[in-house]
Structure 1
């Protein structure tokens, strides 16, 4: 009897309850969409990391994400190099600047400077051997082919632009690196230091490392965190 009475109340008040139910359902859909957007943004931001060969990343303590790093002493390299399990360490730059289009105007871009050897830890694996050779030329850069319009370019390879007064020339195109925050601009460490003049020669933004045995990565990460709390030490996984 009580159940029947409750159902009658709900039925008579359906005009009030239905909007509430729809509002809750719509809120759930919005949450799902926002969560999907967040995951997509994280995937885009982490793509240069996912396509690099580094197993350990070292930055300034407390850095919340890769695009918010700050200069660190390049001498920290010796701290990482001193770990017996580590076989390679190198510096890495990931910083934003302004790309000045050939036709005028500018756009925010992300300069990624890395070493270019076959065994390099920071260079994305999508860079072909030919691209790596061309990137050793001063001012040479590689961009994603889907970003050409945003960068004010037409065909890409052979075209030029400027970054903070320094001429850059497109020597190659990659795919799959379209960015939300600003087009990625891949280059050598030498070119990156010209474009990111705020970094002194004795500074870098990140240090990348690789261990002889993959299983040693968590051990090295934990040891470095314990010995040097001023450093943020992260594993690639």
Structure 2
């Protein structure tokens, strides 16, 4: 009975109902899209780690961000390879350089040098050019999504990186840096020339352990043999790289503030809509109280109205979110929405809508049922 009254009351004034739904839909879409953009952006901070194919990353004891390494002696890798349970270990070089552009200018790049013949550190999949692009003389791989920054390089084009001749021998897709600098992949040996580093040093060692081997034990043994390095599972270093940008910049605060603003707008719109509906029918609520409706029944009625607005608005908002993600997500502005975010946003907005019903309840609570009898 009460649910039917609540439903009929909402449908009676479709204009106010539509305004309330807009508030809920807006909140759901904003929370998910903002969250998706945040996850898509911050994922770039650990992209090299996530796609490295390594179980363990080994670097300088102060390693805190994958794009800013401190070099370590390359010869140390032999101690790691001799550890029981290690299947493979390869060095990788990461550093900054400048690539020449056809118009005479330069573009800063992140140079990543990987060992030929191994998939450790291979964060890219070639979509243009031969699969063995790095085996070509002076060959480098750039990303299609950086074409605009690099002024549309074609396969076979000759450029320079830090004064060294290079040839665009392959292109990847979607391998973008958290920084504005494009990634350029090359061989481990060439990378030392491009970034001007000591050829006897490496940025990191990438380690793959044998199946069934405890990675933490291998990390502990690496630290025991090499006291000046840090060794940690790949997912742990990925989290550290992400945390570096979260704590050193205002990214988390800015995205969080925008998301909170969306929730606040939704709360105000839903609360205002329900309150306006109650004001228009205050005499009807007084009548309900006059004929014996309890406080509990009034609360159930208002809660039912909020719940109906929330359920419909959330369903429509999630549908809009999926459509927006499908149409507008790109490697440059990736919208990555995990299932947990959909669930959390729906639960949060539903809770806020229920909380919004407290505003009209405070008004109904003050209604004197005798006013109806006196009328």
Contact 1:142 1:174 in 2 (8 A): yes
Asked whether the 8 Å contact 1:52–1:125 carries over to 2, the reply is no
| Alignment correspondent of 1:146 | 145
- Asked if the contact 2:91/2:204 (under 8 Å) is kept, the reply is yes
Task: Spell out, residue by residue over 1:126-163, the C-alpha distance to the aligned partner (whole angstroms, 9 max, x if none).
Answer: 147x7452311232111110101101225x21222211
Distance 1:153 1:194 in 2: 24
Q: Which residue of 2 aligns with 1:178?
A: 176
Once residues 68 and 168 of structure 2 are traced to their aligned partners in structure 1, the CA distance between those partners, rounded to angstroms, is 26
Aligned-pair distance for 1:101? 0.9
- Report the more deviating stretch, 54-63 or 223-232: 223-232
Give the SS at the match of 1:103. coil
Instruction: Return the offset for 1:165.
Output: 0.8
1:134 aligns with 2:125: no
Structure that is richer in strand per residue: 1
> 1:226 Cα shift?
4.3
The 5 A counterparts of 1:69-218 are 69-117=69-117, 119-124=118-123, 126-127=125-126, 131-154=130-153, 156-181=154-179, 182-197=181-196, 199-218=197-216
SS of equivalent to 1:191: helix
Contact 2:79 2:225 (8 Å CA) reproduced: no
* Residue 18 of structure 1: aligned partner: none
- CA distance change for structure 1 residues 76 and 99 in 2, over 3 Å: closer, same or farther? same
Question: TM (normalized to structure 1)?
Answer: 0.76
**In 2: Cα distance, 1:37 partner to 1:57 partner:** 27
Q: Do 1:145 and 1:174's aligned partners in 2 also have CA atoms closer than 8 Å?
A: yes
Which consecutive unaligned segments of at least 5 residues does structure 1 have?
Answer: 1-28
Give the equivalent residue in structure 2 for 1:224.
Answer: 222
Q: Distance in 2 between matches of 1:132 and 1:48?
A: 19
In structure 2, the CA distance between the partners of 1:200 and 1:220, relative to structure 1 (3 Å rule), is: same
Instruction: Confirm or deny: 8 A CA contact 1:89 1:207 kept in the other structure.
Output: yes
1:57-72 to 2 correspondences below 5 Å: 57-72=57-72
In structure 2, list runs of 5 or more residues that go unmatched.
Answer: 1-29, 236-375
- For residues 134 and 189 of structure 2, the distance between their equivalents in structure 1, rounded to whole angstroms, comes to 10
Rg (Cα) greater in structure: 2
Aligned-pair CA distance for 1:49:
2.0
**Aligned mates of 1:112, 1:131 — CA distance in 2:** 19
Matched residue of 1:177: which SS?
coil
Aligned length: 204
Is the CA contact 1:92–1:207 (under 8 Å) kept in the aligned structure 2?
yes
Tell me by how many angstroms 1:179 deviates: 2.3
State how far apart, in whole Å, the 2-side matches of 1:70 and 1:160 are. Answer: 30
2: distance between equivalents of 1:38 and 1:222? Answer: 34
Could you tell me whether the CA contact under 8 Å between 1:161 and 1:168 is conserved in 2? yes
Q: Answer whether contact 1:115 1:123 (CA < 8 A) is retained.
A: no
Using the TM superposition, give the Cα deviation of residue 121 of structure 1 relative to its aligned residue in structure 2, in angstroms.
1.2
Report what 1:16 is aligned to.
Answer: none
Contact 1:58 1:231 in 2 (8 A): yes
CA shift, 1:174, in A, is 0.9
Q: What SS does structure 1 have at the residue aligned with 2:214?
A: helix
